[in-house]
Amino acid sequence: MHALGSPGVLALLFVLSLPAVTTRLNASDEIQFFAWLRSAAFDRDADFENEYQHFYDRGPVRNAGFHETFLERVNENGRRFNFTPIGTAILWAPFYAGGHAVAWLAGAPLDGYSAPYIHGVAYASAVYGFLALLLSADIVRRVLGRGTAAVFAVWLGTPLLFYMYVAPGFSHACSAFAVALFLWTWLRVRNTWTTSGCIQLGLAGALVAMVREQDVLMLAAPGLDFLVWLVWHRPATSLFGVAPADPRRRARALLAAVAGVGAWALAYAPQVAAYLALNGHPGPTTYVTRKMTWTAPHLLSVLFSPEHGLFIWTPLALVAVAGLVWLVFGGTRGASRDARWIGVLALLLILLQAYVSGSVESWTVAGSFGQRRFVALTPLLALGLAAFAPERHARGGGFLRVVVVTLCIWWNLGLMAQFGLHLMDRQRLTPRENARLTFIELPRQAPMIAWRYLTDRASLFNLPRR
């Protein structure tokens, strides 16, 4: 298992897995993310009616609900709705440009819609998901100095796998990358808080907010960490103990923090401009903001409900959270006091994500695979799982922990198969029936399902639904 934590092995597995990427857009969210990119590249505007009409006419979203929401109704600025921010389109842009070059070379339509463009954004999400895994592996090494095999388990055992390969048109793989990049940058700059480091952190934080707005809460960890460093940091020691803090060093750190905030504001400006063009004001449409109830009435449901509760759909996440608790309270062998502090901040970030997801009226993300709003937690889950995992030469409970992680991975793979083959209710789990299919029926069918997915994937798209 430990060899699987090698970046080289992970890279080889990723390259071999590329044929599994599904190159199509099939849901309204995917089309909204794509519309930003296509409209910016070809139309130079924030009017998406022609993009929506294109996908409606060609069938992926030919239903009354899509037509009413995106081709009949208008927002407060008189434009067609787009409920997504622009960060995913920004990350996709280089791959989309590559798709344009391929379309030109292959003689495909240069319209922004043809297969090379769609393939470009699909593979982009897969690449960013993989980069999120590599960054997560380095985060784990920086904090614990070991345990990067946990990244492989998170790859297979969480919905990240689904949104890298089966539905890459969503923003979640890009979200995992943006958050991993931000947390990785934070761990690199937190010991000194230099001006250049804070600017880098501000730029990465702006990307986080532009990919998925709820992920802006990730900024809480570096913010709190900086305040603690500012108050209690002692830069020098003497024969008689800890020397007083250097006021000049604190002043430089405060100026660096101001520079970081300025970098964040400057980098976030394109999102403000996009909102002004689309909604007529520098924020999301009021049709989104009024869906929030900030007392988080669905906080427990978003974690434990069979509908789309995180820990029911993704039990590996519960194992990872338990690992973070184990880390915080000193159960992880060799963990430093600083590692335990980072564990506290990681738990805080998970709680904040649960809070904001539990505040959304549409908390169930009905019809989606898993509780997809938590995919951004990928690096934190990797850290918690590494804290839970046994040492290389551990005895006793090590075997049991490997069994638990393996069962969680197979549960995720089994649910993906049931979801894709329409063998389950996509609105909620029925755990006993899902377990029977996952652990009894699907193992016998796994080779056939994998072969069909790789060789005749289109035949799976229109299977009858339950």
What confidence score (pLDDT) does residue 408 get? 97
What confidence score (pLDDT) does residue 455 get? 85
Residue 198 lies in domain: 2-46+120-233+246-461
The residues with which 237 forms a beta bridge, in sequence order, are: 242
Q: Determine, yes or no, domain membership for 149.
A: yes
Rounded distance between C-alpha atoms, residue 24 and residue 166, angstroms: 9
Q: Determine, yes or no, domain membership for 290.
A: yes
Res. 154 pLDDT band, cuts 50 70 90: very high
pLDDT at 60 over 90: no
Cβ atoms of residues 67 and 31 within 8 Å: no
**Which has more pLDDT, 55 or 241?**
55
Q: Kindly state the tokens that stand for 371.
A: 């509780």
- Output DSSP code: residue 237: E
Q: Determine, yes or no, domain membership for 54.
A: no
pLDDT at 98 over 90: yes
pLDDT in tens, 10-20: 889 999 999 99
What confidence score (pLDDT) does residue 465 get? 62
Rounded distance between C-alpha atoms, residue 273 and residue 45, angstroms: 11
Rounded distance between C-alpha atoms, residue 235 and residue 335, angstroms: 22
Looking from the CA of 222 toward its CB, the CA atoms found within 13 Å total 29
What confidence score (pLDDT) does residue 238 get? 37
CA-closest candidate to residue 161, choices 126, 122, 124: 126
CA-closest candidate to residue 231, choices 242, 220, 245: 245
pLDDT at 392 over 60: no
Q: Determine, yes or no, domain membership for 427.
A: yes
Mark out the alpha helices in 290-336 (DSSP H runs). 301-304, 310-313, 315-328
Q: Kindly state the tokens that stand for 208.
A: 């986080």
Most confident of 140-154, 204-218, 440-454: 204-218
Listed range (51-55, 142-146, 179-183) with the worst mean pLDDT: 142-146
pLDDT at 181 over 50: yes
CA 91, 292, 324, 194 torsion: positive or negative? positive
Taking residues 437-459, what's their average pLDDT? 87
CA 190, 193, 197, 201 torsion: positive or negative? positive
Taking residues 211-219, what's their average pLDDT? 96
Q: Determine, yes or no, domain membership for 281.
A: yes
What confidence score (pLDDT) does residue 395 get? 55
- Output DSSP code: residue 245: P
Res. 462 pLDDT band, cuts 50 70 90: low
Q: Determine, yes or no, domain membership for 69.
A: no
Averaged pLDDT of the chain:
90
Cβ atoms of residues 384 and 345 within 8 Å: no
What confidence score (pLDDT) does residue 401 get? 87
Cβ atoms of residues 60 and 25 within 8 Å: yes
Res. 232 pLDDT band, cuts 50 70 90: confident
Residue 360, SS3 per DSSP: strand
pLDDT at 390 over 70: no
Cβ atoms of residues 74 and 81 within 8 Å: yes
Rounded distance between C-alpha atoms, residue 137 and residue 381, angstroms: 11
Residue 30, SS3 per DSSP: helix
Measured in degrees and rounded to the nearest 5, phi and psi for residue 237 equal -125, 160
Q: Determine, yes or no, domain membership for 62.
A: no
Taking residues 439-453, what's their average pLDDT? 89
Rounded distance between C-alpha atoms, residue 260 and residue 253, angstroms: 10
Q: Kindly state the tokens that stand for 235.
A: 């830069």
What confidence score (pLDDT) does residue 351 get? 97
Q: Kindly state the tokens that stand for 219.
A: 């900024």
pLDDT in tens, 236-285: 433 334 444 567 778 888 999 999 999 999 999 999 999 999 999 999 98
Residue whose tokens read 């449409």: 285
Rounded distance between C-alpha atoms, residue 109 and residue 121, angstroms: 16
With 0-12 / 13-18 / 19 or more C-beta atoms within 10 angstroms meaning exposed / middle / buried, residue 271 is buried
Cβ atoms of residues 291 and 360 within 8 Å: yes
Residue whose tokens read 């999102």: 271
Q: Kindly state the tokens that stand for 3.
A: 């060899």
Rounded distance between C-alpha atoms, residue 442 and residue 167, angstroms: 21
**Where are any strands of DSSP class E within 206-337?**
237-238, 241-242
What confidence score (pLDDT) does residue 1 get? 47
What confidence score (pLDDT) does residue 240 get? 38
Q: Determine, yes or no, domain membership for 52.
A: no
Name 258's Cβ contacts closer than 8 Å, sequence gap at least 6.
Answer: none
What confidence score (pLDDT) does residue 8 get? 82
Domain count, the chain: 1
